[in-house]
Amino acid sequence: MTGPAAQIAYDDFARVDIRAGTIIRAEPFPEARVPAIRLWIDFGPAIGEKRSSAQITRHYEPAGLVGRQVLAVVNFPPRQIGKVMSEVLVLGLPDADGQVVLIGPDSPVPNGGRMY
């Protein structure tokens, strides 16, 4: 583990647009260099459906992800990951072995809700 990052102003934080979305489709992504799962996430009518690739195979199976709400950064530019264009960055935390554990609300929230 590392220590905290340098302090930032609130305006810096406010520029990162983190939204809640519901995974509506998930598929294995065997072409990825590191095992990953392709995700389709519904962020509600204002943002719509976005795609992502996440290295979350240690703790998750595609079928078990459908219907799960997650948090993601929605204002990064799209990034090509192998054959997949990743449009959002799904957020997670490392477990004791450094494997990703997804972050999401513990009660249902509207898709597209912005974190603050």
Domain contains 50? yes
Q: Into how many domains does the chain fold?
A: 1
Q: What is the pLDDT of residues 63-101, one digit of tens each?
A: 999 999 999 999 999 999 888 899 999 999 999 999 999
What integer pLDDT is reported at residue 38 of this predicted model? 96
- 3-state SS assignment for residue 69: strand
Q: Is residue 59 part of a domain?
A: yes
112: alpha, beta or left? (left if phi > 0; alpha if psi -120 to 50): left
Which CATH number is 14's domain given? Answer: 2.40.50.140
Domain that holds residue 91: 10-102
- Domain membership of residue 71 (yes or no) is yes
What pLDDT sits at residue 96? 96
Residue 110 counted as domain residue: no
